Chains A and B, each alone.
Chain A
Amino acid sequence: MEMIKIDKKDWNKGLDRSRKTYRLVGPVKRAGEDLAGFYELADKEHPDMGAADTVLSAKSVVYPQTEVMFRYTTDKNSPDCNRLKRPAADYSPRAVIGIRPYDAAAILMLKKNFDTPDYRDPYWCDAYEACTFVGLAVDAPSSTDFSTSTGSGPFSEKGLDVLLVDMAGHYLAKVLTDKGAAYMKAAGWQRAADAKAAAQQIEKKKKAAEALIVSSVSFDKIARKSILDLYKADFWDDVAFSCINCGTCTYVCPTCWCFDIQDESKGKTGVRYKNWDSCMYPLFSLHGSGHNPRGTKTMRARQRFMHKLKYFLDKYDDGIMCVGCGRCVRSCPVNIDIRRVCELMNRYGPDPDACAV
């Protein structure tokens, strides 16, 4: 694995050089004053590498909140009459600079849904393939970061092409994939660091960062509990009581993947969109008949936690559908805390590890 040293004074220059072949995306403040998010960087604009984490995750880079799927016209005079036309979109290479390790790990989770042997979502896959993920290791994890217990962590390399580690005057860049190497080349960052010393330095910083993590979840017993027992558990009314079904938790979440499809038409032309959706909304499960199988907020709140902490775990046998970024904990307006719910689920009912007597 290649280690590269990037002097901070070469940082912006390198980014600018890479713009010849890459569109850059990174954390910057836009729109509202305190809303940092992952946006495409304007010419001369550079990512804010020192900022605390973004309110919204980086998932919008591959999975925008609103995306046009196709346009159509029923105008007989048009050569495109009755054809569904996918709009031209820019899938040229884009480098996602400063993505947090847990967000990159989350993108691999999204991949489980959008890129399967049976189905391939072309919009998601094309965007994903265009991306090179240049992550930034987290030195000072927040008190709501529990990523080490979800299989990610402040220095996790999952889903990344390059991992950057901030060494004050310079970055150490651990190049993890060919895509990563290609980006480093395009940026002109080619000064090899002493691989062994760099690995040691990174390891040291990693240990220090992990030691700063104060929050964790356990789900070791959830896999062996029955779905129905958990579904019927007695704590859901208490968990859900304060929930206002705003869906904020699912919108800020890097792993939530649900979307809704909407048509908008005017006269003879129309557009079909994908929009983020959320199982916290009554409309999410409302049937055309008017029946709603998830008609109460307790059912909806339960769905979110059961999906993340039980169904996903059972289906993929690869941990929970949560990378522990803590965003939902910070953004929920009524302080519903997934760490608490995970604990309730893990503890619920007979202990599968208990000795039989």
Chain B
Amino acid sequence: MLAYTDRIKEIARALLTDCRVELVIGFRKGTVPMMNEPCFINSPDEADQLVWDSNCGINLANYLANRTEKIGIVAKGCDSRNIATHIIENKIGRDQLFIIGVPCQGMIDRRKVNAMFDGEVREVVESDGLVTVRGADFEKSFEKSELLQQNCSVCTHRNPVIFDEMAADPVDEQQGVDRYADVREIEAMDPQQRWDAFEKLLAPCIRCYACRNACPLCYCPTCFVDEARPQWVGKSQNPVDVRTFHFLRAYHCAGRCTDCGACERACPVGINMRVFTKKLEKDCFESFGWEAGLSPDVRPPLDTYRPEDPDDFIK
């Protein structure tokens, strides 16, 4: 990780020294355990701020939409797929970007780690795949693989799909992972069980929309939930409106979601709303063999027509 950080700093410094970009978007060290803060730097002497470790789960593609500068951006696998999606959707031009690719080995699930201990987690350090968690009166080490965000543990695109320079050699992609075990569990439920499961899942939602705002796909100038004329969705804590938000948001991400996990990570109350987007991701994969953002040159299935597209849903 340290080597990654050094290399990212070097590349960023060189980009800014040679004026090849106006700013570099990356991470700086956070103020609480397991958190780094997205930041931009625009002079070579700021390059030393940049860090890389297993706490860079925020999807940096989220900071690109509609920017007009030439930008250097640090991108792990999922970020790069969302950058590709942005390029397809004309939210940023490929020629505006210098992508510093980071082969990723997964991000630590902060909520999971915090939940493992009764006392407050005060420090988390990693070295050589081992993560040590410390509190005022405890210390425990884990294999990093035990602490990964769920989406990272089933990720099959850890290496950036597009980049201009890599910060390290590619890592091996995970083989034989079952990406959709959780979705199948929900598919197997009868409608009432599924309804109850969704009710329970969404009960704590405070409608802050952090899940939406953390997502690079949600860049609409006015989201349907914020629209006032006509007002599609009520604004109170009425469960009908909360549900409407979640279901519609998921559909708006169909065929575009890369399962980067930014939404789940951002939620202050720990809702795994990824079950919705993942179901659509699975459908896209099964119906169209589609995985979002693997190339900036291929249009996604929901805005293209192919004669061989499955049509057995037409009865």
A interface list, Cβ under 8 A from B: 30-35, 52, 55-56, 65-66, 140, 142-144, 238, 241-242, 244-248, 251-252, 260, 262, 264, 273, 275, 278, 281-283, 329-331, 333-337, 339-340
Contacts and interface: CB of A to CB of B under 8 A. Distances in A.
Given A283-B226, A335-B31, 9 more contacts: A31-B203, A143-B32, A143-B120, A273-B236, A329-B32, A333-B210, A335-B32, A335-B35, A339-B31
B7 to A, nearest CB: 22
B38 interface: yes
Contact of A262 (B206, B234, B270): B234
Contact of A241 (B38, B268, B269): B38
Given A262-B235, A335-B31, A34 B270 contact: yes
B39 A242 contact: yes
B170 interface: no
Contacts of B4: none
A65 B271 CA distance: 18
A334 B40 contact: no
A334 B58 contact: yes
B3 to A, nearest CB: 24
Given A330-B32, A333-B265, A335-B35, A248 B120 contact: no
A241 B40 CA distance: 7
Contacts of A329: 31-32
Contacts of B120: 52, 140, 142-143
B63 interface: yes
Contact of A335 (B30, B268, B269, B271): B30
Interface of B: 30-32, 35-40, 58, 62-63, 111, 115, 119-120, 122, 136, 200, 203-204, 206, 208-210, 213-214, 226, 234-238, 265-271
Q: Dominant SS at the B interface?
A: loop
Given A144-B32, A241-B38, A246 B209 contact: yes
Contact of A251 (B58, B208, B236): B208
Nearest to B213: A244
Nearest to A215: B31
A140 to B, nearest CB: 8
28 contacts: A30-B203, A32-B271, A35-B204, A52-B120, A55-B269, A56-B206, A66-B236, A143-B120, A242-B38, A242-B39, A244-B62, A244-B214, A246-B208, A246-B214, A246-B266, A248-B266, A251-B268, A262-B234, A262-B235, A273-B236, A275-B237, A282-B226, A283-B226, A329-B31, A333-B58, A333-B214, A333-B267, A334-B266
Contacts of A142: 120
Given A144-B32, A275-B236, A329-B31, A336 B269 contact: no
Nearest to A214: B122
By secondary structure, the A interface counts as: loop
Contact of B269 (A35, A66, A281): A35
A260 B207 CA distance: 14
Contact of A334 (B37, B115, B234): B37
Contacts of B214: 244, 246, 333
A207 to B, nearest CB: 18
B210 A31 contact: no
A334 B234 CA distance: 28
A242 B213 contact: no
Contacts of A35: 204, 269-270
A252 B236 contact: no
A65 B237 contact: yes
A33 B115 CA distance: 10
Please name the 6 residue pairs, one residue from A and one from B, whose CB atoms are nearest each other, closest first: A333-B266, A246-B210, A31-B203, A31-B204, A244-B213, A242-B38
A55 B209 CA distance: 16
